[in-house]
Amino acid sequence: MRLSTSTLVSAVVLPALVSAHDIHHARFQPRQAAPASSAASAATPSTVAASGVTSAGAPSTVASAASSISEPPTASFSLLSSNANAVPLSSINANAPSQATVALDTTYQAGATPTVVSSAPGLPNPSSLVISSYPPLDKTPPTDSPEVQQWIQEVANSGVSIPNFSSTVAGGCPANAAAVADTSRCWWTCGGCTRDTDIVSCPDKNTWGLTYDDGPSPYTPTLLSYLDEQSLKSTFFVVGSRALSYPATLQAEYMGGHQIAVHTWSHPELTTLSNEEIIAELGWTKKIIKDVTGVTPNMMRPPYGDIDDRVRAICTAMGLTPVMWTRISPMATFDTGDFDIHSGATSVTQVLANWENILGNASVMDTGFIVLEHDLFQQSVDVATGYILPDALAHKYTIEPVVNCVNKPMSDAYIETNDNSTNPPIASGGAATLSSGAPGSAEATAKAGGSGNSSSSASALVSSPKSLGLFALTTVIVSLVGGSVATLL
């Protein structure tokens, strides 16, 4: 096989920041722990060749910001391909100047309908949105409005019983010992518990359910343009406040054949909220998406993955199926960590090392997988369009929105267009997606011990040699060390 010169394997000395965490996504330790970071930070500089790439020439000239903290760990990764127009790795960091944003390829007329959503209603006119009729941006909406009061009533009328758990408090697992100990809550954040009604992976091997969270943002059009170029479709977990700020971008996602789903109004940890506040967060996000696109999503992703059986019950009552990202053990979540490049809490090389670990783990799973990525910051979009997506395409995965990866048509993703035949409403007991025992399911998590014991499922996976051969045979290896590039092989 002839390899493109853009094929990379790099061993990069990282600033010793891998254990630092951005506050936004760091509150819950297990979820945010970068898969490779614990191994990397335990390694001494002379044993950095965790993936077989030697660290010859590893400089002691680590980025000055980091050199104060003992010896730097190293992250390494390999890619089958990258984008010829990629932003260079050295320019994807917290200090990167803001790039010029690109305009949307297409804007759409009111009344238009997307081809992939059969019997969709016409697109609303976004200029008819009255901003003052929505709650303040980025705050949990008040619960005494007529809208929220109506949604509370609908939840009460749904017949779904909501467990009477106390809310958790800020501070994650260490601050919530009783809730952590109460396994009947099935609290994902502290132990990875999931239920069969959660979508945690795609059933078919080598299928990637592509997702981007926290947008739409000024950088979303750049991502959309790359996805269009490659004929890729994604699921977007939309923050209601961003949808109100960027309605034309949300319309472009929807009309472009991407799946739109709910990611709350203000991005809180849902288990910390009251039932009424959770209803307000989800209800307003459903409403803004419907007001902008004409349709109401029936899937949601909890910010930080923070879900328990109380939040699940409210989601069920509101017609929303939770979609997580694949998690095979407390330390191996399929989280690229891309969110944290913007703040400097992680580096692009760590993110690509995480990506390589994700693919390694995916290659030995029986099912497909779902990965956490974001379209809020330019750094995340740069790493997605420049590196992660080109690499995934070279791996020849089937890449599709979550609704398609669970083998349902796009029309099943919205309450107005779902005919309930292949995707019965979750409250009716439908929407189970995976057999029990699949990675990330409640059963698999229970087998893994739920907390503390990360060895069982992870070591079973790493002990299989299947995944590693591809990289060893086909990669041209380049070492990018402290900014200089040297060919090793």
Ligand X SMILES: *[C@@H]1O[C@H](CO)[C@@H](O)[C@H](O)[C@H]1NC(C)=O
Quote the CA–CA distance of 336 and 52 in Å, as a whole number.
Answer: 21
The catalytically annotated residue of 198, 342, 374, 375 is 374
Within 63-102, the residues that bind ligand X by CB under 6 A are none
Asked if residue 22 binds Zn ion (CB under 5 A), the reply is no
Asked if residue 214 binds Zn ion (CB under 5 A), the reply is yes
Quote the CA–CA distance of 445 and 190 in Å, as a whole number.
Answer: 11
**Which amino acid makes up residue 371?**
V
**Tokens for 353?**
């090392």
Site string for ligand X, 423-442 (x = CB under 6 A): --x-----------------
Contact call for residues 420 and 112 (beta carbons, < 8 A):
no
The one among 204, 229, 366, 419 contacting ligand X by CB under 6 A: 419
Asked if residue 375 binds Zn ion (CB under 5 A), the reply is no
- Name the segment binding ligand X (CB under 6 A); options: 32-40, 217-225, 310-318, 378-386: 32-40
Length of the chain: 489
Coil, helix or strand for 290? helix
Q: Is the dihedral of CA 340, 344, 349, 350 positive or negative?
A: negative
Q: Residue 214 binds which one of ligand X, Zn ion, none, with CB within 5 to 8 A depending on kind?
A: Zn ion
- Name the segment binding ligand X (CB under 6 A); options: 221-229, 292-300, 359-367, 384-392: 359-367
Give me the least distance between CB of 447 and ligand X, in Å please.
7
Give me the least distance between CB of 445 and ligand X, in Å please.
13
Quote the CA–CA distance of 172 and 169 in Å, as a whole number.
Answer: 7
**Tokens for 13?**
């000395």
Asked if residue 360 binds ligand X (CB under 6 A), the reply is yes
Quote the CA–CA distance of 6 and 98 in Å, as a whole number.
Answer: 25
Packing angle of the helix pair 220-229, 247-255 (nearest 10 deg): 20
Q: What single string gives the DSSP state of each residue in 400-453?
A: E-HHHHTT--GGGGBTTT--SSSS--GGGT----S-TTSTTSHHHHHHTTSSS-
Quote the CA–CA distance of 76 and 357 in Å, as a whole number.
Answer: 10
340 is an active site residue:
no
- Name the segment binding ligand X (CB under 6 A); options: 173-181, 269-277, 393-401, 454-462: 454-462
Q: Residue 4 binds which one of Zn ion, ligand X, none, with CB within 5 to 8 A depending on kind?
A: none
Quote the CA–CA distance of 380 and 24 in Å, as a whole number.
Answer: 15
Site string for Zn ion, 261-300 (x = CB under 5 A): ----------------------------------------
24 is an active site residue:
no
Asked if residue 373 binds Zn ion (CB under 5 A), the reply is no
Cβ proximity to ligand X: between 270 and 359 the closer is 359
**Which amino acid makes up residue 483?**
G
Q: Residue 36 binds which one of Zn ion, ligand X, none, with CB within 5 to 8 A depending on kind?
A: ligand X
Q: Is the dihedral of CA 345, 346, 347, 351 positive or negative?
A: negative
Quote the CA–CA distance of 249 and 261 in Å, as a whole number.
Answer: 14
Quote the CA–CA distance of 410 and 322 in Å, as a whole number.
Answer: 17
CA 46 from chain center: how many Å? 33
Cβ proximity to ligand X: between 253 and 373 the closer is 373
Give me the least distance between CB of 246 and Zn ion, in Å please.
16
Q: Residue 213 binds which one of ligand X, Zn ion, none, with CB within 5 to 8 A depending on kind?
A: Zn ion
Site string for ligand X, 320-349 (x = CB under 6 A): -----------xx-----------------
Asked if residue 456 binds ligand X (CB under 6 A), the reply is yes
Quote the CA–CA distance of 254 and 358 in Å, as a whole number.
Answer: 28
Q: Residue 164 binds which one of Zn ion, ligand X, none, with CB within 5 to 8 A depending on kind?
A: ligand X
Asked if residue 368 binds ligand X (CB under 6 A), the reply is no
Contact call for residues 480 and 12 (beta carbons, < 8 A):
yes
Quote the CA–CA distance of 254 and 123 in Å, as a whole number.
Answer: 10
The one among 303, 330, 439, 440 contacting Zn ion by CB under 5 A: 303
Give me the least distance between CB of 172 and Zn ion, in Å please.
16
Site string for ligand X, 260-289 (x = CB under 6 A): ------------------------------
Cis? peptide before 390, omega within 30° of 0: no
**Tokens for 40?**
């990397």
The one among 4, 118, 133, 455 contacting ligand X by CB under 6 A: 455
The catalytically annotated residue of 22, 198, 213, 308 is 213
Contacts with Zn ion, residue ranges (CB under 5 A): 213-214, 303
Contacts with ligand X, residue ranges (CB under 6 A): 35-36, 39, 164, 166, 331-332, 357, 360-361, 364, 419-420, 425, 449, 453, 455-456, 461-462, 467
Q: State the catalytic residues.
A: 213, 374
